[in-house]
Amino acid sequence: MSSSEHRSSSEHRRIVLAARPEGRPAPANFRLEQGSLPVPAEGEVLLKILYLSLDPYMRGRMSAAKSYAAPTEIGAVMEGGTVAEVLESRHPGFAAGDIVLSHSGWQSHALAKGEQLRKLDPAAAPVTTALGVLGMPGFTAYAGLLTIGQPKTGETVVVAAASGPVGSAVGQIARIKGARAVGIAGGPEKCALVRDSFGFDAVIDHRAPDFAAQLAAACPGGIDVYFENVGGKVWDAVFPLLNSFARIPVCGLVAQYNATGDFEGPDRLPVLMRQVLSKSLLIRGFIQREFIAQRPQFEREMAAWIASGAVKYKEDIVDGLEKAPEAFIRLLEGGNFGKLIVKL
Ligand SMILES: NC(=O)c1ccc[n+]([C@@H]2O[C@H](COP(=O)([O-])OP(=O)(O)OC[C@H]3O[C@@H](n4cnc5c(N)ncnc54)[C@H](OP(=O)(O)O)[C@@H]3O)[C@@H](O)[C@H]2O)c1
């Protein structure tokens, strides 16, 4: 097909940030726009987006608050990892039909410089895994757990959001390293997946009224590694169970991403600091990019673990770009069931 045929037969659709949310995002914070397809310059390719990854970090980009990454500007396309097909190439390393990993955001088509793309081999693994278990979330689990958490044989590793792409990989890697994996998830369906498919040693529903007591019973020897994904009441239940020399990779705090104003309850800082001192706790935040040098090793090891069945994954695929805002809003409240991906 010639480039003029693409342009006459296709439309460029994109979802932009219409307004910054106060608390929980609403559909009105997003706007669907349409236009004509952009034209690649020398060194660029024109991409047709096939899959868009939806991830909790996008809530941070919608806010103007100072963070580790710049906010998305009002009127700009929402950021996001994507798997795309090259429609037209003006870069010597890519040809029409190539499937690539890109960071093109919430849109149907995009221009990209060749240097920003990585070719994917659809015969090696389903291409959607480049957004989940073999991509950024899987790498986050691998690097955060092994570099900071350092689980040892017989230790107990606890992780929440355990049915999602980060948490499910954390528990399964912990077990590969000989540790006990205790997952926390919302609702019976997610708990069954974590226990029966991902093979965690125990799983607790954080919605149960006696959640803290159930967690204590599932961790009779205390907690050696707590991989922090959510914060909030999960942290409150974990904190008294931490063993001396426990390691706490702080990966995410999704329970508070939609929070506004001050947090409820008493000031916990003095108690936290006393325990950090008296139990020699290691609490270390991280953003996965800082461990990027480990990425090739991760890709090799994770591909082998998937091939051997030691690591399993679940994807939740939503159809249609226009569904992205609603699916993203639900993700922040546990409405996803596995790695959330939009199929365009
Ligand atoms: N530091 C980094 O570089 C980095 C990179 C990637 C991801 N992350 C973080 O890793 C965490 C997991 O990401 P993911 O992509 O794997 O997400 P995910 O598990 O697919 O989705 C988030 C999950 O969080 C859980 N959740 C939401 N509110 C909660 C609450 N109040 N209490 C308990 N659980 C709650 C929900 O699961 P349930 O229904 O089971 O509660 C929801 O499905 C997030 O905090 C994310 O920001 C950090």
For residue range 308-326, list pLDDT tens digits in order: 999 999 999 999 999 999 9
Residue type, 73: E
**Does the pLDDT value for residue 293 go beyond 80?**
yes
Per-residue DSSP letters for 24-41?
S--GGGEEEEEEPPP---
Distance CA 181, CA 199 (A): 9
Region 21-32 average pLDDT: 96
Nearest ligand 1 atom to alpha carbon 168: 16
Question: Is residue 193 classed exposed, middle or buried when 0-12, 13-18 and 19+ CB atoms within 10 A define those classes?
Answer: buried
Ligand 1 in contact with 83 (CB < 6 A)? no
Tell me: the pLDDT tens digits for 36-77?
A: 999 999 999 999 999 999 999 999 999 998 889 999 999 999
pLDDT grade for 8, boundaries at 50, 70 and 90: very low
- pLDDT band for position 264 (50/70/90)? confident
- Residue nearest (by alpha carbon) to ligand 1 atom 20: 164
Ligand 1 pocket check for 334: Cβ under 6 Å: yes
Beta carbon of 185 within 6 Å of any ligand 1 atom: yes
Q: Predicted confidence band at 1 (pLDDT cuts at 50, 70, 90)?
A: very low
**Residue 2: per-residue pLDDT:** 44
CA pseudo-torsion sign 335, 158, 216, 195: positive
Distance (angstroms) between ligand 1 centre and the Cα of 229 equals 6
Report whether pLDDT(247) > 50.
yes
Q: How many CA atoms lie within 13 A of 299 on its CB side?
A: 12
Give the model's pLDDT for residue 160. 97
pLDDT in tens, 99-137: 999 999 999 999 999 999 999 999 999 999 999 999 999
Alpha carbons 171 and 19: distance in angstroms, whole number: 37
Q: What confidence tier does 139 reach under pLDDT thresholds 50, 70, 90?
A: very high
Q: 163 CB under 6 A from ligand 1?
A: yes
Alpha-carbon distance of 167 to 66, in angstroms, equals 26
* C-alpha 166 to ligand 1 mean position (Å): 8
Whether the CB of 105 sits within 6 Å of ligand 1: no
Q: Which residue has the higher pLDDT, 11 or 216?
A: 216
User: What is the pLDDT, as a whole number, of residue 7?
Assistant: 56
CA 223 and chain centroid, separation? 24
With 90 as the cut, is the pLDDT of residue 263 above it? no
Q: Which residues contact 126 (CB under 8 A, 6 or more apart)?
A: none
User: Letter for the amino acid at 202?
Assistant: A
For residues 211-229, one letter each, b for 16 or more C-beta atoms within 10 angstroms of the residue's C-beta and e for the rest, the string is: bbebbbebbeebbbbbbbb
Distance 251 CA to ligand 1 centre (A): 9
Q: Scan for tokens 């929070």, then name that residue.
A: 259
Query: For residues 159 and 156, what is the distance between their CA atoms, to the nearest angstrom?
Result: 10
Given a cut of 60, is residue 4 above it in pLDDT? no
- Specify whether the CB–CB gap between 225 and 157 falls below 8 A: yes
- Residue 308: C-alpha distances to residues 192, 223, 286, 302, 305 (Å): 22, 28, 29, 10, 5
Residue of 55, 136, 166 best suited for mutating to test ligand 1, as the one with most atoms within 8 Å of CB: 166
> Would the CB of 237 count as within 6 Å of ligand 1?
no
d(C-alpha 120, C-alpha 17), whole Å: 29
pLDDT grade for 262, boundaries at 50, 70 and 90: confident
Quick one: CA torsion of 66, 131, 136, 203, rounded to 10 degrees? Answer: 100
Ligand 1 near 251 CB (within 6 A): yes
Residue 10: per-residue pLDDT: 54
Give the span between the Cα atoms of 90 and 227, in whole angstroms. Answer: 44
Closest CA relative to residue 38, chosen from 113, 97, 119, 145:
113
pLDDT digits (tens, 9 = 90+) for 184-237: 999 999 999 999 999 999 999 999 999 999 999 999 999 999 999 999 999 999
The reply to whether ligand 1 has any atom less than 6 angstroms from the CB of 157 is no
The two structure tokens encoding residue 62: 């919608």
∠ CA 239-285-291 to the nearest 5 degrees?
135
Q: Exposed, middle or buried, 203 (CB in 10 Å: 0-12/13-18/19+)?
A: buried
CB 160 within 8 A of CB 173: no
User: What's the gap in Å between 9 CA and the centre of ligand 1?
Assistant: 39
- What the block records as the tokens of 194 is 């974590």
Instruction: Give Dmax over CA atoms of the chain in angstroms.
Output: 69
